[in-house]
Amino acid sequence: MYLNIDSQKEMTYDAIVIGSGVSGGWAAKELTEKGLRVLMLEKGHKLEHVSGYENAMKDPWQTQYNGRLTMEQKETHPKLSRDYPYNEMTEKYWMNDSDSLYKEVKRFDWYRPNIVGGKSIMWGRQSYRLSDIDFEANLKDGVAVDWPIRYKDIAPWYSYVEKIAGISGEKLGLPQLPDSEFLPPMDMYCVEKEVRKRIEKNFPGRTMTIGRVANLSKPTTVQINNGRAACQFRNKCSLGCPFGAYFSTQSCTLPPAVKTGRLTLRPESVVTNLIYDENKKKATGVRVIDAVTLEEKIYNAGLIFVCGSALGTTAILLNSTSNRFPNGFGNDSGELGHNLMDHHFRVGASGTWEGDEDKYYFGRRANGIYIPRYRNIGNDKRDYLRGFGYQGGGSRSGWQRNVAELSFGADFKEELTKPGPWSMGLGGFGETLPYHENKMYLDFKEKDKWGMPLVVFDAELKENERKMRVDMGNDAAEMLEKAGVKNVKINDRGSWLGMAIHEMGTARMGRDPKTSVLNGNNQVHACKNVFVTDGACMTSASCVNPSLTYMALTARAADFAVKEKKKGNI
């Protein structure tokens, strides 16, 4: 074999990070800051901080369709257009359906970003800690396998990432929802303040707080020095924030990584597989297909962090076969691709609020309220396992409201220029159990344009989730009614896996290599120089939004990996 030594050197790094989203960004930051030369590979295109957010500062009249999708977009994006995250303003941030080929034995909504920063640009920014109620749940319930870590293992790392990322919220001291290192909480609407009081009075053990959100309500010196400014309350976060006011790779983790001079970021790089050296018993690098030219490249490194978003990560691992790993990388347990989870949601209740006609608000809060889980905690016992939290909030309608259907003219116009009635709604986010039979796998006979075998999804919500959903609707209605909300209606718009974009599992952490893919440090049991720190690692789903946990686990794993590297263990 002809070896171009210079080029070989150029293609060799201390570490490779696959993916540039929430987890990949943290991996790149932590590893470069600890002195490693890092190559970060991202399949999507470049998205420059601030100047790349083309729609972020547009006025409504500068859009074409006020956010609507065109017929062509609907026809060419039959899967993406199933729900709201794909719209006129975010079109460029998502992968085309024609590139994002996958198969559904059962319906699965796969939202795949196509940009540097990944979903850290469009995420909902809700940020909550898991608790020991979550970490102990599988063990206590006899479900799946036990988490190999407990809250005390991750708590300092939550604190570490929160102080950098910036999480705004209110301290509550709840065992099921540990407090973060908070920036000041955002304000509530009058209706929310009143509903909170009445819920707490009528339902001991339940509370309502303002959403805990990764927006800088009041930036610290660390955050200001990182080039970030306070939230301007425009509520346009998902377009990219020109003020760097919410956590994204671009606003928070990329600048310090770039500053070290040790980061190489290569967009439009589709990683197809890891390369395993049977003699060294280590991964030695990755194979990359250039997303545009389709040219093949091999990059080498002694340490690999796979952060390709849960399902992207597992697709790469399943496609990384060798003599040692005939069924996918690190897949001695056979669990790779299994235990696929997402939150189930789109069920709750809402109604109208009479009063407060003389009250209004100033600014647009990109956040709602949160009701922490209260089911199956303490003495509460339901006919299903686990629980749910609620997101939601009050609002005062504006011109969008439907006033007398057939009215028009001067009076109609004047009416719409005034604020309308208040309303209040709650929507549940429920935990989904890790079922072995809920899985993804590869169809090696069919490939996408980069030669990746197509992912096949075969996963569904089951009895436990269905029972929980009944509570999610009824409880919401009951709380709202007791709080004095009128015309309360339960809604259940149906939930399909993938839709909450909280994909988890498929390469779970565990104590035993025979039943899990990763150990308690997010390290592949069977190959110590490969780490997986995105949603794929989750052993159970909790009911809280998961991104903050990926941040903490990534920083923790990076710290462990560099220590191990220094000891010569990897």
Chain positions contacting other proteins, by CB under 8 A: 50-51, 54-66, 68-73, 75, 88-89, 91, 186-190, 192-193, 224, 227-235, 242-243, 357-365, 398-399, 405-406, 408-410, 412-414, 416-420
Work out how close the CB of 244 gets to other proteins at its nearest, in angstroms, rounded to a whole number.
8
Count the Cβ atoms, other than its own, within 10 Å of residue 325: 21
Core vs surface per residue 460-472: b (16+ CB within 10 A) or e: bbeebbeebbebb
Question: How far apart (Å, rounded) are the C-alpha atoms in residues 492 and 508?
Answer: 30
Q: Which helix (H) or strand (E) holds 475?
A: helix 463-482
Residue 486 CB, nearest distance to other proteins (Å)?
20
Cβ closest to other proteins, residue 10 vs residue 54:
54
Pairing of strands 38-41, 102-104: unpaired
Supply the minimum distance, in Å, between the C-beta of residue 58 and other proteins: 8
Backbone φ and ψ for 189, nearest 5 degrees, come out as: -70, 160
Angle between helix 190-202 and 463-482 (nearest 10): 110
Q: Which is nearer to other proteins, 188 or 385 (CB)?
A: 188
Quote the tokens at residue 536: 């794929």
State both tokens at 30: 């932590």
What is the smallest separation between the CB atom of 423 and other proteins, expressed in angstroms? 15
CB of 10 or CB of 357, closer to other proteins: 357
d(Cα 224, Cα 202) in Å, to the nearest integer? Answer: 42
CA 220, 225, 226: angle at the middle one, nearest 5? Answer: 100
CA angle 290, 296, 301 (to 5 degrees): 95
Q: 224: closest CA among 196, 189, 251, 261?
A: 251
Q: Using DSSP, state whether 210 is helix, strand or coil.
A: strand
Q: What would the two tokens of residue 406 be?
A: 């057939």
In this complex, which beta carbon is closest to other proteins, that of residue 295 or of residue 358?
A: 358
Report the nearest approach of other proteins to the CB of residue 353 (Å). Answer: 13
How far is it, in rounded angstroms, from Cα 305 to Cα 561?
A: 10
* Among the listed residues 360, 178, 96, the one whose alpha carbon sits nearest the alpha carbon of residue 169: 178
Q: Please tell me the distance from the alpha carbon of residue 165 to that of residue 1, in angstroms, as a whole number.
A: 47
Q: Smallest gap, in angstroms, from Cβ of residue 13 to other proteins?
A: 31
Which lies closer to other proteins via its Cβ, residue 413 or residue 514? 413
User: Which is closer to other proteins, CB of 6 or CB of 414?
Assistant: 414
* Minimum gap (Å) between residue 125 Cβ and other proteins: 15
In the complex with other proteins, the residue whose CB is nearer, 57 or 105, is 57
Rounded to the nearest whole angstrom, what is the least distance from the CB of residue 424 to other proteins in the complex? Answer: 13
User: Which CB sits closer to other proteins, 290 or 415?
Assistant: 415
Q: Phi/psi at 215 (nearest 5 deg)? A: -115, 140
Order the strands of the 388-396 sheet from edge to edge. Answer: 209-210, 369-371, 388-396, 422-430, 347-353, 486-492
Name the 3-class secondary structure at 69: coil
Report how far residue 496's alpha carbon sits from residue 517's, in angstroms, rounded to the nearest whole number: 26
Quick one: which of 239, 39, 30, 29 has its CA closest to 123?
239
Helix axis angle, 151-165 to 547-566, nearest 10°: 100
φ, ψ (nearest 5 deg) of residue 518 = -120, 155
Cα-Cα-Cα-Cα dihedral of 535, 54, 51, 125, to 10°?
-30
> Which one, 264 or 397, has the nearer CB to other proteins?
397
CB-wise, 366 or 541, nearer to other proteins? 366
Please state the closest distance from residue 68 (CB atom) to other proteins, in A.
Answer: 5
Name the token pair of 8.
């070989």
Judged by CB, which is closer to other proteins: 70, or 202?
A: 70
Q: Which residue has the tokens 């790392």?
A: 157
- Closest distance to other proteins from the beta carbon of 206 (Å): 21
Instruction: For the CB of residue 357, give the shortest distance to other proteins in the complex, in Å.
Output: 7
Nearest approach in angstroms of CB 120 to other proteins is: 19
For the bound state, the minimum distance from the C-beta of residue 29 to other proteins, rounded and expressed in Å, comes to 20
* Least distance to other proteins, CB of residue 49, Å: 9
Place of tokens 């540990």: 178
The sheet with strand 453-458 has its strands ordered as 102-104, 453-458, 439-447
Residue closer to other proteins by CB (options 81, 515) is 81
Choice between 64 and 323, CB closer to other proteins: 64
Q: Are 477 and 491 in contact (CB under 8 A)?
A: no
Closest to other proteins by CB, 277 vs 354, is 354
